[in-house]
Chain A
Amino acid sequence: MISSTNFIYLALLPPLLAPIFIFIFKNNQNLRDSVGLIGSLISFYATINITNDLMNGGSPTLYLFNIFSDLSLSFKVTPLGAVFGLLCSGLWILAAIYSIGYMRGNNEKNQTRFYIFYSLSIFGALCVAWSSNLLVLFIFYEFLTFATYPLVVHKETDESIKASRLYLGILVGSSLMLFLPAIIWVWYSVGTLNFADGGILNNTFDPVYAPILLSLFVFGIGKAALMPLHWWLPAAMVAPTPVSALLHAVAVVKAGVFSILMVICYIFGPEFMNSSGSGKFLIWASTITLFLSSVIAIRKNDIKARLAYSTVSQLSYIILGGAIATNYSLIASVSNIMMHGVGKITLFFCAGAIYVSTKITKITDLNGIGHKMPLTFIAFSIGALSIIGIPPLGGSWSKFYLLLGAAQSELTIIIIILAISTLLNTYYLLDPVFRAFFMDKNENVKTVNHPLTVYPALCSAFLVILLFFYIDPLLQLVNLIIY
Chain B
Amino acid sequence: MARSLVAITPAWPGAVAAALVLLLTLGTLAAVAWRAEWQGGLAAADWAAIRFTVSQALVSAALSVLLAIPVARALARRRFVGRKLLITLLGAPFLLPVIVAVLGLLAVFGRGGILNSALTGLGFEPISIFGFHGVVLAHVFFNLPLAIRLILQGWLAIPAERFRLAATLNASVWRMLEWPMLRAVAPSAFLVIFLICLTSFAVALTLGGGPRATTVELAIYQALRFDFDLGRAALLACIQFGLCVLAAFVAWRISIIDAMGAGLDRVVQRWDLRWPALDYAMIAAAALFLLVPLAMVVLRGLPGLMDLPPSIWDAALRSVLVATGSAILCVAMALALSLHGGALVAIIGVLPLAASGLVVGTGAFLIVFPFIRPADVALIVTMLVNAVLALPFALRAIAPAVAAVSEDFGRLALSLRLTGWSWLRIVVIPRIRRPLGFAAGLAAALSMGDLGVITLFAGEAQETLPFAMYRLMGAYRMEAAASAALVLLALSLSLFWICDRGGRTDADL
Partners in one complex: no
- B interface vs A, CB < 8 Å? none
Q: Which residues of A contact B (CB under 8 A)?
A: none
